[in-house]
Structure 1
Amino acid sequence: MMRTYPIPFNEEARVAAVQNVPGLTRDNQEVFDSLCYATAALLDCPIAHISVIEEDMQWYKSVIGIELADMPKCNSFCTHTIMSEAPMVVTDLSLDPKFKEHPMVREGGPQARFYAGVPLVLSSGYRFGSLCALDVVPHDMPDGKTLKVLEHLGKSVVAALEKAPAEPAAEETDQGHATFLTLVGHELRTPLTIVNGGLRLLENKLEDNLTKRLARSSINSTDHLAKLVESILKFSNMATGELQLNEQAIDLSNLLQEIGEAHAPTIADGGKTLRSFEPQMTETVLLDPEHMNICVASLLLNSFLHGGNVIDLSCKLDPNGDIEIMVTDDGNIDENLDLAELYRPFIVGGNVEQRDTKGGLGLGLPMTRKLVELHGGEFEVRANPSNTEACIRLPRWRLAQ
């Protein structure tokens, strides 16, 4: 069964920051229980807790109204809460496609129905968990004033935890390589502007129609890439390496068709073929279109540079109802290659048949994996006898209702 919870883009740095907070221990103090009681009273709920989310598990600084043991992240509502700066409120969990099959919601479990929580953000900017309230009956949506008080209670949890430091200091982490956000902010924006301007000057001087068409195509591509970069930066936090989703209800088939049409001329000019995309889904999907554009474009580019001569792009629902986006080419990966290496930054694959190591820093597949995990999905490359498949799988709760 596939994982269905999202993974923050800056997860490694976030977990390291959480584990380095001196006051964030399992030893409870009365102040945290008091804040939980205040939260439960505010939202008229029998249960409230302060959760701490680490790499694989969720544990509790304080719990009132129920006994809770450590919980795997796949059973945690709070793993979703920390993905946003805003409160997360679900008035009836049994009606929400994201949670209706959750073990704490369906029959046989506690049958939770109402959830309201706010992310708990350290002074360093990293999210470590949530302050939330739960009930076994649905509630109406709390008003704005109530949610504002809940946010202030969340800030009080952090202040009590960190002893309200006068000068918040950013957490220092050794991440080895520059983060993606630094890369796009400082390494792509400036050269993109230069390339785009140069191409526009060149287009005005060209007379041959074919050459002018190629120049115009290149200008359109740089305009598109610049738009993607700006969108990523708009929903990012440069201090922590965090990335937020700009989710929209999207016709996935149309989106993939547009991506395929945008890249087909480049693939054809390189002597390869991108077969016509045949829509296989009519459902609307809730996702960040710019992020998914980056993912699919990266996979197409990877197949173009390192794959076979024929490339296919497709999407469908698998037997479990999960969403699959596939980029397949007729190239073969060396059987001695460790596929896990492909997901590491700055690795381009080593000794690979029909896949040279030119054309990239090895950031495409690791970036795709992190953006897909941010959506709560999974990404893998599969080496088959006759082809290579790159598969993006998104959980079925992303089918827009």
Structure 2
Amino acid sequence: MNSYPIPFNEEARLKAARAAPGLTRENEPLFEALTDTARMVLDCPIAHISVVEEDSQWYKCVVGVELDEMPKENSFCTHTIMSDAPMIVPDLSLDPRFHDHPMVREGGPKARFYAGVPLILSSGYRFGSLCALDFVPHAAPTDKQMDMLASLARAVIAALEKAPAKDAAPDDGTGYENFVALVGHELRTPLTVSLGALAMLRTRLVDGIEARLASSSHASTQHLGKLIESILHFSNAETGELRLNEQETDLAALLAEISETHQPIAQISSKTVTGTSGVTPLMMRVDPEQLRIAITSIMLNAVQHGGASITTALRLDADGNAEILITDDGSLGDHVELDALYRPFVVGGDLDHRGTDTSGLGLGLPLTRKLVGMHGGAFEIHADAHSTTACIRLPAWRAAAAV
């Protein structure tokens, strides 16, 4: 499993970074001066301009130490590029994301302090960070120090992109704001009507499968409303980016709620959905709405394409990672290419085979993979002749972060 989160727009981000005019591996005195200033601003022995690639991190400039290109799992900056906000860690050994990191733990260089700001191209894509590190903990930097670091980061970008003339009209963001306002209105209006109609229908149906379907539809529509609000608030139409709205969430309750919502749909298909009884709460710091999308996608695939018996389970593995498991007693057809599921937005198997039998995987699974990757987790499919299991694995540090 990855030890780092992966941006939702990773493919577009990498393409934009590689197209940046000055983003080469050759250092220049200007970048040396900017990086050294960052080191002095934060009173640290080390600072660098990092570039986060698909599997590794390299440096446009480093001061205070010799650093070679390193695997992405050894990079702190993979976390920094997940948002526009600075990332400040006064003591890396006390942070649940990093306390067991190879750069922090015993036997490594024992890095302790990190403060960095993402380097954001004018197109809106983040490719790396300007950051400072120390081998001793620091108090949190002042707002003035971080403002200075952000100004230095903007200077780095200006130098890389060969800044436009001063009289060029800046993008004031109104285009994106208008897009959000228009789309938000067009989505919310029919959704409000649907919620009202379903609520009225629920009051007229007392029991039976029709009542359960109405209740399930109402719950799903409410979820859709929350999802729309989350996407509009935490997405960027210009870069195709989706950010996490992290909250302390009980995974056991979330899984039980989704299972209950799908019970009526499964019953119509003569299928059963059962969960592990007596599951204790498991708190993790995640985005509950995005995780709900991922779990719902797997559940729908099981209901629509899987066997007659579907079970859900939640457990911790030997390393403390949380595993959400959805298993059905159907088998995958030979046309399904499992390896293809791990490629971004590629669907396993031939589309002509979709829906032709009780096996197969739906179109939502590549999206599930991306949403889980944003959490720093892994999504896997395990299949044999008698069953198919979809597993979402979330890193242990997300549980520690919820404490």
Aligned position for 1:177: none
Matches of 1:335 and 1:355 in 2, distance apart?
13
Q: Which runs of 5+ in 1 are unaligned?
A: 171-180
- The equivalent of 2:304 in structure 1 is 305
What residue in structure 2 maps to residue 249 of structure 1? 248
Q: Please identify, of 193-202 and 388-397, the stretch whose mean Cα deviation from structure 2 is larger.
A: 193-202
For residue 229 of structure 1, report the CA deviation from its aligned partner. 2.3
Quote the sequence identity (%).
53
Q: CA deviation at 1:64?
A: 0.3
8 A contact 2:305–2:357 mirrored in 1: yes
> Residue 388 of structure 1 corresponds to which residue in structure 2?
388
The 3-state SS of whatever aligns with 2:275 is coil
How much has 1:200 moved relative to structure 2? Answer: 4.5
Measure how far apart 1:149 and its partner are. Answer: 1.7
d(CA) in 2 for partners of 1:191, 1:346: 33
* Kept in 2: contact 1:116–1:132 (CA 8 A): yes
The CA deviation string for residues 142-161 of structure 1, in whole angstroms up to 9 with x for no partner, is 12222122111111111111
Bigger mean CA offset, 292-301 vs 200-209: 200-209
What is aligned with 1:316?
315
- 1:4 is aligned to 3
Kindly provide the amino acid, as one letter, of the partner of residue 13 in structure 1.
A
Deviations 1:35-67 (A, max 9, x none): 111111111100000001111111111100000
Change (3 A) 1:28 1:281: farther
Hey, what's the Cα distance between the residues in 2 that align with 1:169 and 1:113?
39
Secondary structure of residue in 2 paired with 1:140: coil
| 2:194 aligned residue | 196
2:95 equivalent to 1:96: yes
Q: Are the counterparts in 2 of residues 260 and 277 from structure 1 also a CA contact under 8 Å?
A: no
User: For residues 125 and 303 of structure 2, what CA distance do their matches in structure 1 show?
Assistant: 38
Determine the structure 1 residue equivalent to 2:268.
Answer: 269
What does 1:59-78 align with in structure 2 at a 5 Å threshold?
Answer: 59-78=58-77
Distance 1:168 1:363, change over 3 A: farther
Structure 2 contact 347–366 (Cα < 8 Å) conserved = no
Give ranges in structure 2 of 5+ residues lacking alignment.
172-178
> How big is each residue's C-alpha offset from its partner over 1:357-394, in whole Å with a ceiling of 9 and x where there is no partner?
7xx9x431001000000001110111123210000111
Distance 2:74 2:195 in 1: 50
CA distance in 2, matches of 1:327, 1:195: 33
In structure 1, the partner of 2:18 is 19
Is residue 50–residue 131 contact of structure 1 (8 Å, CA) maintained in 2?
A: yes
Cα separation, 1, equivalents of 2:278 and 2:230? 26
Which residue identity is paired with 1:142? P
Deviates more, 1:8-17 or 1:275-284: 275-284
Q: Deviations over 1:314-371 (max 9, x none)?
A: 11111122111111000101245321234564736445885367xx9x4310010000
* Mapped contact 1:329–1:387 kept (Cα < 8 A): yes
Q: Deviations over 1:207-248 (max 9, x none)?
A: 886546644542332222121122122111110011111111
Matched, 1:55 2:54: yes
CA–CA separation in structure 2 for the residues paired with 1:316 and 1:108 = 31
Q: TM-score, normalised by structure 1?
A: 0.88
Distance 1:331 1:41 in 2: 61
Shift of 1:84: 1.2
The 1-side partners of 2:373 and 2:338 are apart by 18
Q: How many residues align?
A: 384
